[in-house]
Amino acid sequence: MQQFAGKRVAITGGTAGLGLALVHELSARGADVAFVARRPDGVTRVAQEYGSRVHGIVGDVAVEADIHRIALQVLGALGGLDVLINNASDLGPVPLQLLADTECEDLERALATNVVGPFRLTKALLGSLAASAREHRRPLVLNISSDAAVTPYPGWGAYGASKAALRHMTSIWEQELADTGVRFISFDPGDMDTALHAAAMPDADVATLKRPEVVARELAEVLAS
Ligand SMILES: NC(=O)c1ccc[n+]([C@@H]2O[C@H](COP(=O)([O-])OP(=O)(O)OC[C@H]3O[C@@H](n4cnc5c(N)ncnc54)[C@H](OP(=O)(O)O)[C@@H]3O)[C@@H](O)[C@H]2O)c1
């Protein structure tokens, strides 16, 4: 199944959970994939497992100084870009806290990871995405959202505020760049059996949660549409 042969995809947060499932699903469908994560051991492990069409990049999307290096490494590895998936995320305080008990630094980290990082990385890669549009490759920026972006769940203030901002920013990117041919979508994957979910809700019944592999297949269909 080489449905995505020649498609160049960058994924932030590619060593666990949904990001790892996307690395697996999209590379299996023939895409060339560059993924980002902070911990070098995880990046090396995944890159070695998937071979020459999957490129690992060590970096932190919350750190301003990392963004241009990540963008350069993405473009160096892939030779251009058709799909950017802003997937890496920060929960805010763990265990979850009411807003009144949330440290300012925890809110800042959630915003840096979930909003400012995707903004910086999108800006850094916009020229390449526009070039992809000029070549009629239908480029897409896919920002991973959450139901917490629309529903004000108590205890999820830092995360929910950051995801709401990301979702709204996605809609504005979509409006402002409609003429360029670069598409923007935010996607709520639903509750998944991942480390992030376990950190937020350690008592959840994992049998009720979606497998990230199932969500990755849903997202592959979004990319194909
Ligand atoms: N799980 C759910 O139930 C659920 C529900 C709704 C929405 N979502 C959204 O789905 C997306 C994926 O979540 P997940 O549950 O799959 O997460 P996860 O299992 O915790 O995986 C997070 C991945 O992102 C990387 N990462 C974290 N912070 C990073 C940073 N600052 N820079 C670069 N990489 C970073 C991690 O590796 P390192 O630690 O090595 O950096 C890891 O590869 C997120 O946007 C999340 O908000 C999840």
C-beta of residue 86 within 8 angstroms of C-beta of residue 189: no
C-beta of residue 37 within 8 angstroms of C-beta of residue 8: no
Q: What is the mean pLDDT of residues 81-104?
A: 98
pTM of this structure: 0.98
Report CA(137)–ligand 1 centroid distance (Å).
27
**Looking at ligand 1, which residue's alpha carbon is closest to its atom 27?**
88
Segment 67-85, tens digit of pLDDT: 999 999 999 999 999 999 9
pLDDT of residue 60: 98
Segment 110-152, tens digit of pLDDT: 999 999 999 999 999 999 999 999 999 999 999 999 999 999 9
Q: In what order do the strands lie in the sheet with 140-144?
A: 54-58, 32-37, 8-12, 83-86, 140-144, 183-187
User: Considering the domain boundaries, does residue 63 fall inside one?
Assistant: yes
CA nearest neighbour of 114 among 75, 156, 151, 158: 158
User: Considering the domain boundaries, does residue 2 fall inside one?
Assistant: no
Element (H, E) at 185: strand 183-187
pLDDT of residue 163 exceeding 70, the answer is yes
pLDDT of residue 225: 87
Q: What is the mean pLDDT of residues 182-188?
A: 98
Residues in the chain: 225
216 lines ligand 1 (CB under 6 A): no
116 lines ligand 1 (CB under 6 A): no
User: Considering the domain boundaries, does residue 68 fall inside one?
Assistant: yes
Report the distance separating Cα 133 and Cα 82, nearest Å.
8
C-beta of residue 157 within 8 angstroms of C-beta of residue 98: yes
Mean pLDDT of the chain: 97
Report the distance separating Cα 204 and Cα 32, nearest Å.
35
What is the residue whose two structure tokens read 């997937």? 87
* Closest ligand 1 atom, residue 90 Cα: 28
User: Considering the domain boundaries, does residue 37 fall inside one?
Assistant: yes
* Token code pair at residue 141: 């920026």
Each residue of 106-119: b (16+ CB within 10 Å) or e? bbbbbbbbbbbbbb
CA nearest neighbour of 189 among 221, 216, 163, 208: 216
User: Considering the domain boundaries, does residue 21 fall inside one?
Assistant: yes
User: Considering the domain boundaries, does residue 216 fall inside one?
Assistant: yes
DSSP for 22-46 reads HHHHHHHTT-EEEEEES-HHHHHHH
60 lines ligand 1 (CB under 6 A): yes
Q: What is the mean pLDDT of residues 181-196?
A: 98
Report the distance separating Cα 159 and Cα 113, nearest Å.
10
pLDDT of residue 202: 96
Number of domains in the chain: 1
pLDDT of residue 90 exceeding 90, the answer is yes
86 lines ligand 1 (CB under 6 A): no
36 lines ligand 1 (CB under 6 A): yes
Q: What is the mean pLDDT of residues 158-173?
A: 98
Q: What is the mean pLDDT of residues 3-12?
A: 97
User: Considering the domain boundaries, does residue 1 fall inside one?
Assistant: no
Range of the domain at 186: 8-224
Report CA(102)–ligand 1 centroid distance (Å).
20
Report the distance separating Cα 192 and Cα 207, nearest Å.
10
Taking the CB of residue 9, how many other CB atoms lie within 10 A of it?
26
CATH of the domain at 193: 3.40.50.720
User: Considering the domain boundaries, does residue 209 fall inside one?
Assistant: yes
Residue 106's pLDDT band, with cuts at 50, 70 and 90, is very high
Segment 26-77, tens digit of pLDDT: 999 999 999 999 999 999 999 999 989 999 999 999 999 999 999 999 999 9
pLDDT of residue 1: 56
